[in-house]
Structures are given as structure tokens and as C-alpha cells.
Amino acid sequence: MSTYPRIALVTGASRGLGRSTALHLAEKGVDLLVTYRSNAAEAESVVSAAKELDRCAVALQLDTGYVRGFDGFVAELLRTLKQTWDRDNFDVLVNNAGIGSYAAFADTTEDAFDQLMNVQFKGVFFLTQKLLPVLADGGRIVNISTGLTRFTIEGYSAYASVKGAIEVLTHYLAKELGPRRITVNTVAPGPVETDFTGGIVGCAFARSAPTTAHGLCAGSTA
């Protein structure tokens, strides 16, 4: 049986759900690779918090909406794995990084839709593809979706539709990666108060309910 610690790569882990997920994994004894798009300071605060839990953690820059940058990211990831853990693979991938979008169906622009698609679906699709050779057999993939695929709030047709695509992809990945004993699951939180794009999901829910839940959110900016 292997004695080295499990390593999880959590995208968009500098804040919100990504940060919470990363630190919960650290509490369970998992080492961390946390990615951020632009706020290195917030990512380093997650690294520091993980180290306080006696876990090893490293922050890496990644724009999940820029597919052409994935080869460079994988190269940096491999260097980090070797230098920090003396390994050439990791165990858990959490596809969390995302952006929010609020617009009525009639007002949704092509640019806004393309941005959502690039980050929430295309980026997840091709980043996961690039990482397959680095993900250990018997590993885990968790794709973050949203409860908005199961109930409707006006203004989230594009966001929820793209997240629905993630849920379909999850089924296919589970089928195709089964021979490698890699499990693939979706986590689809309901409406939660969060700082994610100003707490739009929580605020929208609050308009029709007296309280909002705390803890998970619909996503987290990278």
C-alpha cells in the first residue's frame, strides 16, 4: 500500500467554494495544488492555511478559459510535483473554477455566452483531457455544477445550460475512465450566500426565501 499523501488539484481555489473545498481536503490529510487566475495573494492565503493544518500546498496560476495555455500549465504542474513531492502524478482533480453570469435569455449576448462556455465547459473538457496522463489510476474527478440545473431562477439560462453540459460530460468520463478505476462525480450545490460575483445566486434565492444557506456556493472565480 502506498504511504505517500494523496494530492488534490483544485481549480479556482483562491476563494469561495474552491477555497472551502481545498481546506476541507487539507483537514482530511490531503496535500494541495490550488490554482488561481489573477489573485496570487488570496491563493497564497489558502496555501498558508493548509500548512497550518500540516499539509503541503502549492499555488499555481491558471486561466481555465485559455485552452492554449494548458500545455504550459501541465509542464509547470509536472515540475512542481517532482520538486515538491517527488512524484509524477496526483490523485484528485476538482474542476471548480468558474465565472458567474446574470442575464435574461433575451438579453444574453454571444460574447457573454462564449465566455461562460470557455470557462465552464470547454476549459473543463480540455483541461481534464490534458491532465489525464498526470492523474493517477484509481484517482478521482469531481466536477462542480449547480442546483440551477434542477430548479430555475430567472436570469441564469446560459449559466445553468453550460453547467448541464458538465453533468452530461461527467457521465461519459465515468464510463470511459472506469477501466483506470477513476471515479467521476458531479457536485451540484443549491443556492448559497457567497461573494461569488457579488453573491448573485444567494441574493436571487433570498428574494423568494427568508434565509440563505451557508457553506457551498454555485462556483468560484479562479
Catalytic residues: 159
Q: How many residues does the chain have?
A: 222
CA atoms of 83 and 88, how far apart (whole Å): 10
CA atoms of 77 and 166, how far apart (whole Å): 24
